[in-house]
Structure 1
């Protein structure tokens, strides 16, 4: 069995109620739920939350919350892996054991069902034994990066690389922060290690909505896509 877990705790500082903030007329989280539902991949789509209001929105979207997240797993510093593990344990106690998990972020409104289906196909090709993570390619070589020192001066991250042509450097990728497929055994073991498989998505879909600028930028892209 396969489960999609959408982690949507209530606390958010930069955007109040971020997970359910209005996004083009609908709660932000609803887009992830619709994508998961439209994919037809999942036996259960579970919103993991400590917020009654978010649970109400999930129910309004057709996905009532089976149980609330434990308070000790709902602070600013709680990693996601313990949340996934605890969620599987709760379903185990209810007689529902899941072999694979999709961690689907509630702040990924540009991800659609086809992304999930294509990544799931890649996951299956690997025997559902290796993590598949949605990544995107950096627009410029990371070897050209700089840091700012304490005096505000630029320091090259990799000295001597600034003059190397981009075509002579390997492309680098970043975690898009949108979704991951993980073997259930890895989640239960509390570790996601070994080699991960990349599922590449375009950069315009890899928006990490963390503040109002991110939100408005994502809305602009979504409007453009709806008109194309």
Structure 2
């Protein structure tokens, strides 16, 4: 609970990953990937209830083994490759009542810590915003990005009167890191998105912002986690 508001956290994990097959239950530094998110969420000082949304029997079994509640099995039509990421969240908040804020935690961010979850919630309440998402400062600036014409001629992605040549002169830019999404439940039912002009941001360091989408991502996070744990 935060500011007398009850917090529901949802771990969304489907079984049909294509980039890294079965990644949510694959071993990372000695535990199934999803276990890292469950354990961190349970350390949050504000989360009142932690649940899993999944259609996959094996993911459900492992989540329960690590102490995550599974109040329902996600309908398979909400676990397809083309299912929007917001749909399982809307399904969950429609089926579980009595909460004011929802937190989405994806298993693919194993390096986030409880302070990141709590910081996102604190930022939402302090700014009185409708939603808050975690971001990290980008190493690659869109001011130095280009598209290519049919004739392979570079064209600036962002038009500039004069090209910025020094990195220290570039405006700071931030990218979503996928680690934490927070919103007021009644608001997200209407907006059907965490990302609108009413969304604030919580800045996380790059060292905790890795999001697993490929085999290389998985191997790198496994190495980082083992290094952190000294194993």
Q: Normalising to structure 1: TM-score of the pair?
A: 0.90
Map of 2:135 onto structure 1:
135
Question: Counterpart of 1:59 in 2: which secondary structure?
Answer: helix
Quick check: 1:35–1:112 contact (8 Å CA) kept in 2? yes
Deviation at 1:41, TM superposition (A): 1.9
Question: Counterpart of 1:47 in 2: which secondary structure?
Answer: strand
Quick check: 1:55–1:64 contact (8 Å CA) kept in 2? no
Deviation at 1:117, TM superposition (A): 1.6
Deviation at 1:159, TM superposition (A): 4.5
Q: How far does the alpha carbon of each residue in 1:14-50 deviate from its partner, in whole angstroms, 9 at most, with x for none?
A: 2111111110110001111111101132121111100
Map of 1:24 onto structure 2:
29
Quick check: 2:50–2:69 contact (8 Å CA) kept in 1? no
What are the ranges of 5 or more consecutive residues in structure 2 without an aligned counterpart? 1-5
Quick check: 2:148–2:154 contact (8 Å CA) kept in 1? yes
2: CA distance, partners of 1:26 / 1:88: 29
Quick check: 1:102–1:181 contact (8 Å CA) kept in 2? yes
Map of 2:204 onto structure 1:
201
Map of 2:144 onto structure 1:
144
Equivalent runs, 1:54-203 vs 2, <5 Å: 54-92=59-97, 97-127=98-128, 129-150=129-150, 153-160=153-160, 162-192=163-193, 193-203=196-206
Deviation at 1:226, TM superposition (A): 2.8
Quick check: 2:28–2:222 contact (8 Å CA) kept in 1? yes
Question: Counterpart of 2:43 in 1: which secondary structure?
Answer: helix
Map of 1:218 onto structure 2:
221
Q: How far does the alpha carbon of each residue in 1:137-180 deviate from its partner, in whole angstroms, 9 at most, with x for none?
A: 11132201122445555433135554443333321111001111
Deviation at 1:130, TM superposition (A): 2.1
Count of aligned positions: 223
Question: Counterpart of 1:189 in 2: which secondary structure?
Answer: helix
